[in-house]
Amino acid sequence: MRAWLRDTAGGLSATYWYLWTGLLINKVGGFAVLFLSLYLTSQRGAGTAQAGLIVGTYGIGGLLGTLAGGVLTDRWGRRRTLLVSHFATVAALALLAFTTPLPAIAALCALLGIAQSMAAPAFVAAIIDVTPAEKRSRAFNLQFWALNLGLAGASLLAGLLAQWSYQGLFLIDAACTLATGVLIAWKVPETLRPAMFSPTPSAFSTASTDPPASFSSASDGTPAGTRKPATSPGGLGTVLTDRIFLVFVGLTLIQALIYTQASTIVPLAMHADGLSPSAYGAVVALGGALIVVGQLFIPRLIDGRRKARVLALALLLNGAGFAALAIADHLALYLTAAVIWTLGSMLAAPPNAEINSELAPLALRGRYQAVFFLTFPAASFLAPSLGGAGLQYLGNAHWLVIGALGAAAAALHLMAGPPRERRVAAIRSETSATANVA
């Protein structure tokens, strides 16, 4: 057991572990948003529709904050962005605890969304900065595990605290966020090197000359996406013209759309089958338990394997798990399907994060993380919108469409793998050359 723990967690820097600890503290205490809609309806007199609109301002703030966090991560640095994010979150949570007018609560929810989401690009960029490429799969696997362990703890504590005091719920959340901010201020140095501030035209800064499919070599034999452009935007424009990266983001969005069915459409399907809310709770609990118990073993299964193949298998499992719901009408079948789609999610987490880190140029890591992280709020909006219509008009065939989507995304990952690998090799060569010059 000791040897397994050493293999799983060893070789990562102290800075990484301080970041990891802060993330875990933050997620365990991050329960205010989980009960925000219930707080609004039961304590502030908001109607269901009104509560939905107010909670929606948090999501809008999250979109803005993710982009802002990516830009600031590259311009200010990782540490300063993390500190501003955490301390602004503390202020927003404390104000929410004592604010009663609904318009003011809506404004604070938007501020909270901005402040909390700013941290995600900075966290990931800092982890990339301090973790060698060969250890990033392990680092991101542990990060994913901490996220889910923290969310499981938050879900448990939130129910207990809500019975005691909603005001206390906001204040304890603020205290946990403050603890993370203090830990970062005390122990986490700035990981952004000065050389990263001045992006120069490079072999991977844009892909405007790539063929539209982004899966083949250029006509002159240069791998798609690795040709040197005449100019480099050096900002979000670079990210938004990087076709190989955008193909990867698009496939991640498909994966997120599939997996978000579990929290948006599955409960509707279970209700239609006559199953109780507690049955859905059992499905959620099983998925969380699998991740907490099994995620640490995933690196041994996927180390040394090509990431495109791992992601293809993950998407197949995601799709197969939801496709099985076409014949599910009892809790046992739902639980079996949940095991399948959760295994797919567990397999996908490390290579997704690792590829995201590998495709980001040094000077633009924050912006690349921001665009990548936009897939999750986008999926949170699209999955219920499209999935609800699919379930209503297609019935159980909706789940077969989800399965086919998973299979298609798996095939696209296999096609996109070789160009991604060539891009990563080009970035590593240039990064190595920059390091040698420095």
Query: Per residue in 39-62, pLDDT tens?
Result: 887 788 887 667 767 877 887 888
User: What does the pLDDT read at residue 432?
Assistant: 61
CB count in 10 Å sphere of residue 332: 9
CB count in 10 Å sphere of residue 350: 27
User: What does the pLDDT read at residue 160?
Assistant: 67
User: What does the pLDDT read at residue 39?
Assistant: 80
For every residue of 350-418, DSSP letters joined together read HHHHHHHHHTS-GGGHHHHHHHHHTHHHHHHHHHHHHHHHHHHHHTTHHHHHHHHHHHHHHHHHHHHHH
What is the dihedral angle through the alpha carbons of 330, 336, 340, 341, rounded to the nearest 10 degrees?
40
Residue at 38: amino acid letter: L
Contacts of 293 (CB under 8 A, 6+ apart): none
* DSSP-H helix ranges across 233-297: 236-240, 243-259, 261-264, 266-272, 277-294
Q: Which tens digit of pLDDT belongs to each residue from 349-386?
A: 889 988 988 898 878 888 898 899 888 878 877 777 78
DSSP class of residue 164?
A: H
Structure tokens belonging to residue 350: 């490390």
246 exposure class (CB count in 10 Å sphere: 0-12, 13-18, 19+)? middle
Contact 142, 9 (CB under 8 A): yes
Per-residue pLDDT of the chain (438 residues; tens, 9 = 90+): 455 445 555 679 999 999 999 989 988 777 777 677 768 877 888 876 677 678 778 878 888 898 899 999 989 999 999 999 999 999 999 999 999 899 999 999 999 989 998 998 999 899 989 998 888 888 888 888 888 788 777 766 766 666 678 788 889 889 999 999 999 999 999 998 765 444 443 433 333 333 333 333 333 333 344 433 333 446 778 888 899 999 999 999 999 999 988 877 888 888 888 888 778 778 877 888 888 888 888 888 888 899 999 999 999 999 999 999 999 989 999 999 999 999 999 999 889 988 988 898 878 888 898 899 888 878 877 777 788 888 888 999 999 999 999 999 999 999 999 999 998 888 777 666 555 544
Whether the pTM exceeds 0.75: the reply is no
Structure tokens belonging to residue 101: 């007018």
Cα–Cα distance, 235 to 233 (Å, whole number): 6
Cα–Cα distance, 287 to 331 (Å, whole number): 14
Cα–Cα distance, 202 to 196 (Å, whole number): 13
Contact 323, 390 (CB under 8 A): no
Domains and CATH numbers, the chain: 13-192 (1.20.1250.20), 197-437 (1.20.1250.20)
